Amino acid sequence: MKSVSKYPLYWEKDNFSIKIFCSIPNIATGILLKAGPSYFIIDPGDGILRDLSKEIGTKSILNISDVFVSHGHHDHVGGVWSLLTYLRVMNKKSPLSIYFPKGCIEIVSIYNAFKKVYSKTISYKIILQELKQTNKFKRKSVLIKPFPVVHKEYLHDGIKTRLVPSFGYSFTYQGKKICYGGDTAYCEELAANAKNSDLAIIEAGHDEDTPDDMHMTLAEAKSIGETAKDYFLVHVPE
Ligand SMILES: [Zn+2]
Ligand SMILES: [Zn+2]
């Protein structure tokens, strides 16, 4: 394990790299994946534009082709509006695909509001990719495998919970595999996908010893991370 919450976290093998600008529960997550010349964003939380402009420069942000959203909580999608608007202001021409789990109402709502506000002045095509299944697919020479994870949120009473549509994703490029679990309680899908990956990015959002249905404890997260060749623990409460 390289670090717990010392951001940014960076990993690179050959032409495949990932930079986690931050991943702080209830605040923000923001991740840039580079595969050769291609740029993907994973979980564009608040601050993503600032971090991207610092990392790759304001112009290169236009080259981002794909955005992967693990789930709709604000700390994972808070930067989507500003990203979409920035790309419009900067006159992006190439399309942008946004992948998200079916039922993630936040992404659909942000998209609809954006289309409504800017109607005919959007310079680029936004392709919403609502993932209903977890079949593998390829984008820009990267093989992507979405997988369901188990993440919940509290209802108004603060006691009852409900499941949130949530995915983790693994990304494989030139034989190297990065597994990102998103927010999740301990689940077999994540354990299976993280195993033997070159890098596993595992949340450890639960700071007590009693496991719950929302996040993993450090011990649970480590037990999954250690099955990968290398791992980062993220989303640790600060
Ligand atoms: Zn979160
Ligand atoms: Zn969450």
Assess whether pLDDT exceeds 60 at residue 128.
Answer: yes
Q: Are strands 199-203 and 231-234 parallel, antiparallel or unpaired?
A: parallel
Residue 48 Cα to ligand 1 midpoint, Å, equals 15
Q: Who has greater pLDDT, 97 or 214?
A: 97
Assess whether pLDDT exceeds 60 at residue 1.
Answer: no
- pLDDT on residue 212: 72
Ligand index nearest the alpha carbon of residue 46? 1
Residue 165 Cα to ligand 1 midpoint, Å, equals 13
pLDDT band with cut points at 50, 70 and 90 for residue 5: low
Q: How many CA atoms lie within 13 A of 185 on its CB side?
A: 11
Report pTM: 0.95
Residue 20 Cα to ligand 1 midpoint, Å, equals 14
Q: What's the start-to-end Cα distance of the chain, in Å?
A: 18
Tell me the average pLDDT across 34-52.
97
- pLDDT on residue 207: 76
The per-residue pLDDT of the chain, averaged, comes to: 94
Residue 123 Cα to ligand 2 midpoint, Å, equals 31
